[in-house]
């Protein structure tokens, strides 16, 4: 009875740890907005997108080539323009950008921010879709430098969109901002306490054996 009760406790604890670890690891997805005017602040949003990669979020600078499970979507509904992961380029022919990366930082309101860094002559993170629409983000001097080369302040940087076939506004020059919610402190606390309890139960193998031997002795 004692052993089966312990197994039940371990099973429940395992579920709790799984849920908590999933909550902690879910913060690697950044929500990005694009506006229609480059003035170092977010105004009228004309595009949205998500950018994510494997693993829990951590601050620092990382090359794109070091990120696994990279996914990217961008949509500009009013323009009929969209991009996906397969449209990503580390550069364009003649202008490779092997130093393209991201810089992740803490924001004043407790979230995480991201800007695309490094890059070559044409920009940092670039995307070219099947229709010929081209999206490029302001480059920085190095992957660990957030400040944009042409006006971006390092928390809100610039982008350019060249929309093929648009007669009214084929070229848009604006700002983008990427934010991700920080994991809730309670998730970390539950995860830590759950791990401590699990280690305690695992370390009590003598307790399990001490209650299983009498059962066998009475058989």
Taking the C-alpha atoms of residue 87 and residue 197, their distance in angstroms, rounded to an integer, is 46
Burial class (CB in 10 A: 0-12, 13-18, 19+), 148: buried
Nearest to 27 by CA among 106, 136, 145: 106
Phi-psi group of 8: left, alpha or beta (phi > 0 → left; psi -120 to 50 → alpha; rest → beta) = alpha
DSSP, res 93: T
Q: Which residues pair with 88 in a beta bridge?
A: 127
- In the block, tokens 């908590």 appear at 20
pLDDT value, residue 191: 46
The residue with tokens 């995307």 is: 127
- Enter the DSSP assignment of 19: H
Quote the pLDDT of residue 210: 42
**What are residue 126's phi and psi, to 5 degrees?**
-120, 150
- Domain residue spans of the chain: 2-21+185-218, 28-180
> How deeply is 63 buried, as exposed, middle or buried, from its count of CB atoms within 10 A (0-12, 13-18, 19+)?
middle
Q: Say if residues 187 and 24 touch (Cβ distance below 8 Å).
A: yes
Contact assessment for residue 86 and residue 130, using Cβ atoms and an 8 Å cutoff: no
pLDDT of res. 30:
97
- What the block records as the tokens of 132 is 């010929």
Q: What is the pLDDT of residue 54?
A: 94
| pTM for this predicted structure | 0.71
DSSP state string for 168-200: S-SEEEEEEEEEEPPPPHHHHHHHHHHHHHHHH
> pLDDT, tens digit, for every residue of 28-60?
799 999 999 999 999 999 999 999 999 889 999
Q: Torsion over CA of 138, 143, 147 and 153, rounded to 10 degrees?
A: 60
Q: Which two tokens stand for residue 40?
A: 């170092």
* Per-residue pLDDT tens digits of the chain, which is 219 residues long: 434 543 444 344 343 434 444 444 443 799 999 999 999 999 999 999 999 999 889 999 999 889 999 999 999 999 899 999 999 886 655 555 668 999 999 998 889 999 999 987 778 999 999 888 999 999 999 999 999 999 999 999 999 999 875 555 568 999 999 999 876 554 444 445 555 554 554 455 442 344 343 444 444
Q: pLDDT at position 21, please?
A: 44
């Amino acid at each position: 009875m004692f052993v089966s009760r312990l197994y039940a406790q371990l099973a429940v604890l395992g579920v709790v740890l799984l849920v908590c670890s999933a909550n902690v690891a879910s913060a690697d997805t950044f929500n990005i907005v694009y506006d229609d005017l480059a003035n170092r602040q977010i105004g009228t949003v004309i595009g949205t997108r998500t950018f994510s990669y494997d693993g829990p979020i951590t601050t620092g600078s990382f090359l794109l080539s070091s990120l696994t499970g990279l996914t990217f979507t961008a949509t500009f509904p009013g323009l009929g323009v969209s991009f996906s992961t397969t449209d990503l380029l580390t550069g364009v022919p003649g202008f490779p950008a092997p130093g393209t990366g991201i810089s992740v930082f803490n924001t004043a309101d407790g979230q995480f921010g991201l800007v695309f860094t490094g890059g070559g002559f044409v920009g940092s993170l670039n995307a070219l879709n099947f229709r010929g629409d081209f999206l490029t983000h302001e480059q920085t001097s190095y992957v660990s430098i957030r400040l944009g080369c042409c006006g971006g302040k390092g928390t809100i940087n610039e982008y350019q969109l060249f929309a093929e076939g648009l007669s009214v506004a084929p070229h848009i020059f604006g700002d983008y901002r990427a934010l991700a919610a920080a994991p809730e402190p309670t998730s970390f606390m539950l995860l830590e306490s759950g791990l401590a309890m699990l280690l305690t139960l695992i370390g009590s193998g003598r307790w399990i054996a001490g209650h299983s031997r009498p059962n066998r002795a009475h058989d």
